[in-house]
Amino acid sequence: MLRQAGGERVTGPMADITILYEDGEALVINKPSGMAVDRPRKGGICLEDHMDRLKMGFQRRPVAVHRLDTDTSGCLLLARNPKALARFNKSFEDRLVGKTYLAILAGRPTGTEGTIELALSKISSAEKGWRMIPAKKGKAAVSHWELVDELGPNSLIRFRPETGRTHQLRVHALAGLGAPLLGDPVYGAGNAPGAKRTMLHAETLTVTRPGKTPIEARAPLPLDFLALGVKDA
């Protein structure tokens, strides 16, 4: 099911996809948790299967400009044509894209706000597969954070990443704040009461466009966040 931002049904089965922003060169959708952006190696449904419906009268299928992990819900930017894709890619390179994420941590950080600067590198093993780790010679990664609320033994954190490294917020939560994301199977303990996935939500997305109105989108809180006591602002 595809829905426009006002809740109007557009078309299509299988996934509840809400359109948060739309113009002639861009779409921002609220990607559901559990949906991969790219086709998984093992096969299965992914966002690609919904691109024809997301054309919405345009000739070309839209293309995802960036990626969200399969578990992560929230704002995902799609480009409607190759020129727009090139401009948006440059916007990411020039750091003209602002993003915030809400994360539920399995624990509480020390302090109420700060900045995590931990470079990241990829490692892999036959037993555990691949993962990202802090490494002095890794790629620079910077995340700003603030404590939003305490949820019993857990905490709600708003992250504002400056960089977009793979698994950046998941590693920064564990290594920088001392607590993994609730439900994280790689950097935490996996499934927890009320958390059947890694509890990370792409809350807002802003893209500055010279000479044009900026793209601004906000994804509403998913039901599993609300069930864990997160308050909808």
Least confident interval from 26-40, 123-137, 201-215: 123-137
Architecture of domain 2-227: 2-Layer Sandwich (3.30)
What pLDDT was estimated at residue 217? 98
C-beta of residue 202 within 8 angstroms of C-beta of residue 68: yes
Around Cβ 73, how many Cβ atoms within 10 Å? 27
Q: What is the mean pLDDT of residues 174-194?
A: 94
Identify which has the larger pLDDT, 226 or 127.
226
Delimit the domains of the chain by residue range.
Answer: 2-227
Q: How confident is the model at residue 11 (pLDDT cuts 50, 70, 90)?
A: very low
pTM of the model: 0.92
Do the Cβ atoms of 160 and 144 come closer than 8 Å? yes
From the candidates 49, 69, 71, 224, which is the catalytic residue?
Answer: 69
Has 69 been annotated as catalytic? yes
Average pLDDT, the chain: 92
**Alpha carbon distance 46, 39 (integer Å):** 6
What's 180's DSSP letter?
Answer: P
Of 120, 99, 17, 33, the closest CA to residue 71 belongs to 33
Please write the tens of the pLDDT for every residue from 124-146.
987 878 999 999 999 999 999 99
What is residue 129's predicted lDDT score, i.e. its pLDDT?
85
